[in-house]
Structure formats: C-alpha cells, structure tokens
Amino acid sequence: MAADALRDRLGELVRQRRADRFVPPAPLAPSVSKSRASLREVTRPANGEGVPEGGSPARPTRRRSSGGPRKALTSARRDRRGSDAQTSLGLEAFLPGGEWHHAEHGTVYVHERLRSDVETRRSHWGRLPEPPTGELELSSVRSLGLERAIFLDLETCGLSSCPVFLAGTMVWNGEDFVFRQYFARHYGEEAALLAAVAEQVRGHELLITFNGKSYDAPFLRARAVTHDVPLELPRHHLDLVHHARRRWRVGLPDCKLTTLERRICRRHRTGDVSGAEIPALYHEYVRTGDPWPLVPVFHHNLLDVTAMADILDALCRRDRGRATGE
C-alpha cells in the first residue's frame, strides 16, 4: 500500500541517520537533477497509463478527515505518533532540494524534478495539436510554443493580505517538463520566494494558469508590492478556466480544475488534500518545524500544475470537446 511504502521510506531514512549515513541533498545545480524524491505520483489516468512500475501509484500517508483543518492536523499527528525521528529528518527527507539566495531578500527552499520522474512520459508532451476553428488564443499559444511559456500555481495562507508560501512552476525544456517548487520555510522567506518566482518568469512570454487572472497574478503582484520585490509577469496570460467554461460548461457539474482533470483528462487523484485545509497545515509546520503534514500539500501543488498542461492539451484536441462520465 502507498501509506506503507512512505512509512518504509521514513524508516529507512531514520535508520540511515542513526548510522550516520544520511547526507542532506546538495544545493540545486543549474541543470535539472533527476533525483527520485520520496513524494511519488498520486494521479493516474483512468486507463491505467502512467502508473509507476511495480504497482499502483503512491500517495501521501495522511488520512483524509471530514472534520476540517483541525481534525486533519490531529489525523496527521496520529499517523506519525511515537516517531520524533520523522521531525528530526527535516524537510529534505520529504522534498530533496536546495536553497536559492537573493542578496537583498534572503533565501528560499527550492525543489526541482522532471515530470517523467513521477509519471510515464507521453509522446504528445510539449506538442500542442491544432486547436478547433475559432480558438484564436489557443492557436496563438500553439504558434508561440510551450518553450516560451511557464505554468504557475500558488498555495497561500488566505487572501491577498496573507503570505504565499508555495509556488509551483513548470516549463518545457524541449525534452521534458521541468517542475519546480519554491517553498517558504517560515513567513520571513516569502520575499525570497517572490524574488525567485520573479526571476524565473522573466524571459518567458506566456503565463499559463487556472483562474490566475482573478487570483494568482493579482495575488503575486500584491505580495510583491508588500515586500518591494520587482515583479514583471509575462505580457501574455492564458487563463485556462475561461476556455474550459466555454467548452465544457454544458454537461459538467462545474469547471473546477479537479472536475476537468477527472471528466475531461480522465485522470483520478487519490490521497489529495482539500484546499481549505492547506493554510492550517502550513501554520502547523511553521509552529512545529515538522514537515510531515505538508507532504500532501506538495503533492496537491504538483498535481494542479501538471493538470494544467493536460487541460491545455485537451482544449486543443477536437476529440475532447465533450465531457465523459465519472
């Protein structure tokens, strides 16, 4: 089972540390490191493609709770009770990475991986098909090419007056999608996170989000102003939610990202965390230093970003014009 696999991994890391063999990952190199992180795939297509060799996809070990953030935190604590060693392992044990440093705004933690590290590579990645007639913006995106685009999704502590603590980005490097997460290990690292995102989006001509025109982009700008971080987003912004509503609002209960992921892309999440629980899980991490409850949050962010690429591909395909059943 997935939960057992993650617990076995934690046990292995604990034993390594006790034997003085555990070495935290080195800071990120400029190129992508194809390290196999302990966070594994928790999304699978309905047809079974994309499942890692050796069995079903892994998922976060945190049990779902219907009682809201407080009960979710209690459940997370219960999953790891009696194991203080998990806390002592630190963030690197769950999310291998390094630090990005800015002379003025400080340091932020960065995790980087290839999409093919977490799911089976597909031949259509990076190549958008010809969109249906009349989809001028999608046709422009196809002409521009994904090499000049960047996908973005934020995890925040609430409204624009609250910090952003996790930014997930994804770019196409000509061979694979490169996924990166910038994580503020405490509230004081938000400025460095914003500076790191500002540096990465610089040079890209197209920003791709889901509901980003209403949320992610204004949120980033507001927080950048708060911290006096220069931020210039790409001049073109493709917000997938507007195209999705035009294409699929008839026949779907809603056009939420997870609904489109399931009904249009035919991919099913397991072990995901509710967005409403995420702020409380982050505050708990800042208070205790225990990264364990954040494992599903990192998964959630990764899945949101990769789902955007699949939704964009589906929007450009003429055979994905109708919603499927559950």
Report DSSP letters for 280-307, one per residue.
HHHHHHHHH---GGGHHHHHHHHHHHHH
Closest CA to 142 of 58, 236, 41: 236
- Is 43 a domain residue? yes
CA distance 238 to 54: 37
- Is 63 a domain residue? yes
- Quick one: pLDDT at residue 159? 77
| pTM given for the model | 0.75
CA distance 203 to 149: 9
Domain range for 192 is 2-320
Contact 220, 194 (CB under 8 A): yes
- Quick one: pLDDT at residue 89? 59
The rounded Cα 46 to chain-centroid distance in angstroms is 21
- Is 325 a domain residue? no
- Quick one: pLDDT at residue 265? 92
- Quick one: pLDDT at residue 16? 44
- Is 135 a domain residue? yes
- Is 141 a domain residue? yes
- Per-residue burial over 241-274, b if 16 or more Cβ lie within 10 Å, else e, is bebbeebbeeebeebebbebbbbbbbbbbebbbe
Contact 222, 190 (CB under 8 A): no
H helices of 19-163, where? 68-79, 84-89, 136-144
Task: Give the total number of structural domains in the chain.
Answer: 1
Contact 73, 297 (CB under 8 A): no
- Quick one: pLDDT at residue 253? 92
Helix 295-316 with 136-144: angle, nearest 10 deg: 110
Give, for all 326 residues of the chain, the pLDDT tens digit.
444 444 454 445 434 433 333 233 333 433 333 333 333 333 334 444 433 333 333 333 333 333 443 343 344 444 444 344 444 457 888 888 999 999 999 999 999 999 999 888 888 899 898 898 889 999 999 999 999 999 999 999 987 689 999 999 999 999 999 999 999 999 999 999 999 999 999 989 999 999 999 999 999 999 999 999 999 999 999 999 999 999 998 889 999 999 999 999 998 888 889 888 999 999 999 999 999 889 999 999 999 999 999 999 999 987 654 555 55
- Is 103 a domain residue? yes
The helix (run of H) or strand (run of E) holding residue 12 is: helix 2-18
- Is 174 a domain residue? yes
- Is 326 a domain residue? no
CATH of the domain at 234: 3.30.420.10
Place of tokens 């990645």: 125
Contact 291, 13 (CB under 8 A): no
- Quick one: pLDDT at residue 268? 87
